[in-house]
Amino acid sequence: MIKKAFKLVAVLFLMQLFISAGFAPNYSNCKGEANAGGEKSHLIKDGKGLKMDEKVAKSDEEWKKVLTAEQFEVARKKGTEPPFSGKYNNFKEKGVFLCVCCGNELFGSETKYDSGSGWPSFMDELSQGAVRLHADNSHGMVRVEVLCGRCDAHLGHVFDDGPPPLGKRFCINSLSLKFDKRD
Ligand code: FE
């Protein structure tokens, strides 16, 4: 009980510090350097009326309301779905792959290819800034993490063993994606 009260006082003190220092509270859940450098960020209750170039930040509790447990684990907690398990691994329809969290347009089906890795693989992002890259040194490996450019959802990793001309392989979890069929 005393411990809880102490925690609460500490949290209130920190919030006061932030506010008095002129910083708006940052509710982004992504580990690491989300919003580093004070880039624009908005706390929202839902996606209504939000422009696609605006950042999305929600608490874990808010994300849990709109994601399945598996989607939450991968997209918000940087999990990885087992290889060959995802619904988009062998998926060949024409359209756009969207962020499962915020609906941001991430990858076009015309850049999807079969890498044999067991995860949906793309040669490039749909448009510049659709995704954000971040050095990932976890699990004893040096990799480049791919995040949604809008809500910082964990999507997967990008490797340099893709097909020409770009030579990139965006290795993406199906659980971080949803699909919008287009002709
Ligand atoms: Fe997103």
* pLDDT tens per residue, range 34-71: 333 333 333 333 344 566 678 999 999 999 999 999 99
The set of residues, in sequence order, having a beta carbon less than 8 Å from that of 33 and lying 6+ positions away, is 134
> What are the residues whose beta carbon lies below 5 Å from ligand 1 (ion)?
99, 101-102, 104, 148, 150-151, 153
Residue 172: the pLDDT is 98
In order of 11, 96, 98, 174, the CA distances from 179 in angstroms are: 40, 6, 6, 10
Ligand 1 centre to CA of 114 (Å) is: 24
Asked about 171 being catalytic, the answer comes back as yes
Residue 140 Cα to ligand 1 middle (Å): 27
Classify residue 140 as exposed, middle or buried by CB count within 10 Å of its CB (0-12, 13-18, 19+): exposed
Q: How many Cβ atoms are within 10 Å of 119's Cβ, its own excluded?
A: 23
Give residue 65's identity as a one-letter amino acid code: K
138: exposed, middle or buried (Cβ count in 10 Å: 0-12, 13-18, 19+)? exposed
Query: E strands of the chain, at which residues?
Result: 95-99, 105-108, 112-113, 121-122, 131-136, 143-148, 154-159, 169-172, 177-181
Q: Which regions of the chain are under pLDDT 70? A: 1-52
Distance from the alpha carbon of residue 153 to the mean position of ligand 1, in angstroms: 5
Centre of ligand 1 to C-alpha 112, Å, is: 19
Tell me which DSSP letter residue 140 carries. G
| Distance of CA 176 from the midpoint of ligand 1 (Å) | 9
Which tokens belong to 142? Answer: 């040096």
pLDDT the model gives residue 26: 33
- Kindly report the pTM of this predicted structure: 0.73
Q: What is the pLDDT of residue 134?
A: 97
Query: Please, are residues 182 and 172 in contact by the beta-carbon 8 Å criterion?
Result: no
CA 46 to ligand 1 center in whole angstroms:
13
pLDDT at residue 50, as a whole number: 60
- What pLDDT sits at residue 89? 98
* Options 30, 99, 148, 171, the catalytic residue: 171
Q: E strand or H helix at 105, and its extent?
A: strand 105-108
Q: What is the CATH number of domain 60-181?
A: 2.170.150.20
Residue 53's pLDDT is what?
73
